[in-house]
Chains A and B, each alone.
Chain A
């Protein structure tokens, strides 16, 4: 039973047939041309066409020369000069790049040198401060040394006093013992 809801598309079948026809024609052309004779004939055709064009071109050039008109070749020469100029500018641009790069690299190097110099200055300042500090400490230690020397001298003095006191003490002890003995003898 036919499907009454299905609509008819006339171009669907047309397209299908077209695909078939196209394939058949192309297959035929393939078979017709895929041989050495066709290739050689095509070569002869191309050669004749090229020679014809070449002759025409030569005649045109000759005529243009007489008429003092520029030809395609003249325009080509001018265009080539422009391209050459463009290439030179490009080469210059690349050299400018190289210069820019080297300047940038040098700037970076200078920056790093400045950084190192800053570090050195900072260190020198630090060392200077340390030196002043050390100097002060040295003066202080000298003072302490002198004071110590004085103290030593004083101590030495004290040692003399101590000796004197010792001798005084021994004398006093001697003196204390002597009157006791004489007194006992006279009474007997």
Chain B
């Protein structure tokens, strides 16, 4: 007796509408130009070399003290204004803050001698002065993200300018902890791996190497972002978000050679910032000099900057008003979702002199 196998069980039940939408979006990604970033209206306040100080006016100014963003030297700062309704800067301007952003720009070969000293003393300090003058405020709030947080903290420890609040997110302060292979860190610290000659020859660290470095530390082989995209390509909102994130991730900035040397030697190898031994210009950048109100944010799913790297700042500063929070997010998620605006606002609103 012949057994009849139901044919319909062999052919899976496809959602043809979903599949059509998926491949339509994939086709769009392959053919359409890249999405436009940075849509919040802004004005150029000051420009020096490749760096630009941008001013994002508040929709309706509610706070006297403006926010001054310092972003990392590794990536481009447009992640803070990545998409309408998900933009950190747009969110803050809608909440009534005057926002300033220092875009470091991409250093060229001629900028190979720019070190952390120059970045802090000649660029950041001047930009802060300009922002204070431009806003007409008497004080300012510094907001540092990632390495920008480290730079903001170093600056705050030697600043003569009136910094009322210091906000740092996913910030590396103590470099003893390291997310990558421990033997690599050991090799860098004991001199088995030396990058001085490499920096001398290249001048700046090319963006491909910067990207390679992050890849090597996190995941050398990385393709699940593409399979994830394929899996969720039917969702247009996700596709848009993915494209923006992908563009930003691949758009690394070159790193000025001297600054990288200092970062590797003084911060990573010697851990001078946490020890209070870092010298910027002719001043000792001791975090104990920071008396500004401090707000530190860490991401619990951050696989690049660990909590152990950020938290020590709480004990190193002299601030009386200091808060530390951990948010359920990754390293970039905080900025990418626009969530950072709400987190900044809930702390800064009572410390930014509300205009009555």
Contacts and interface: CB of A to CB of B under 8 A. Distances in A.
Interface of A: 2, 4, 6-12, 14-15, 18-19, 22, 25-26, 29-30, 33-36, 38-40, 42-43, 46-47, 49-51, 53-54, 57, 72, 75-76, 79-80, 83, 86-87, 90, 94, 97
Nearest to A29: B220
A77 B220 CA distance: 38
Contact of B110 (A11, A36, A80): A80
15 contacts: A7-B15, A8-B13, A11-B22, A29-B220, A33-B181, A38-B183, A39-B183, A40-B192, A46-B193, A47-B197, A49-B198, A50-B197, A50-B201, A80-B110, A87-B48
Nearest to A72: B109
Interface string B189-209: 000111101101110000000
Contacts of B223: 18, 22
B219 A26 contact: yes
Interface stretch (B66-74, B226-234, B250-258, B342-350): B226-234
Which 10 pairs from chain A and chain B are nearest by CB?
A8-B12, A39-B187, A79-B110, A34-B181, A7-B15, A18-B227, A15-B231, A76-B110, A11-B231, A15-B227
A26 B223 CA distance: 11
B42 interface: no
B182 to A, nearest CB: 7
A87 B13 CA distance: 68
B281 interface: no
Contacts of A25: 221
Nearest to B108: A79
Contacts of A47: 194, 197-198
- Secondary structure at chain B's binding surface: helix, strand, loop or mixed? helix
A160 to B, nearest CB: 86
B222 to A, nearest CB: 7
Contacts of A94: 129
Contacts of B184: 33-34, 39
A36 B122 CA distance: 40
Given A26-B221, A40-B192, A14 B231 contact: yes
A93 to B, nearest CB: 9
Nearest to A12: B231
Contacts of B275: none
B353 interface: no
B48 A22 contact: no
A12 B193 CA distance: 42
B126 A8 contact: no
A66 B221 CA distance: 46
A180 B8 CA distance: 180
Interface in B5-64: 9, 12-15, 18, 22, 48-49
A43 B193 contact: yes
B192 A36 contact: yes
B157 to A, nearest CB: 23
B247 interface: no
Given A7-B14, A43-B187, A76-B110, A34 B182 contact: yes
Nearest to B221: A25
Contact of A76 (B109, B195, B200): B109
B201 A57 contact: yes
B133 interface: yes
B356 interface: no
Contacts of A42: 193
A83 B108 CA distance: 12
Contacts of A11: 22, 227, 230-231, 233
Contacts of A34: 181-184
B282 interface: no
Interface string B304-341: 00000000000000000000000000000000000000
A186 B200 CA distance: 168
Nearest to A33: B181
A6 B18 CA distance: 13
B13 A7 contact: yes
A134 B48 CA distance: 71
A95 B61 CA distance: 30
Contacts of A4: 13
A75 B193 CA distance: 32
Nearest to B226: A18
Contacts of A39: 183-184, 186-187, 192-193
A14 B110 contact: no
Nearest to A13: B231
A103 to B, nearest CB: 15
B12 A50 contact: no
Contacts of B22: 11
A50 B192 contact: no
A143 to B, nearest CB: 64
Interface string B210-239: 000000000111111001101101000000
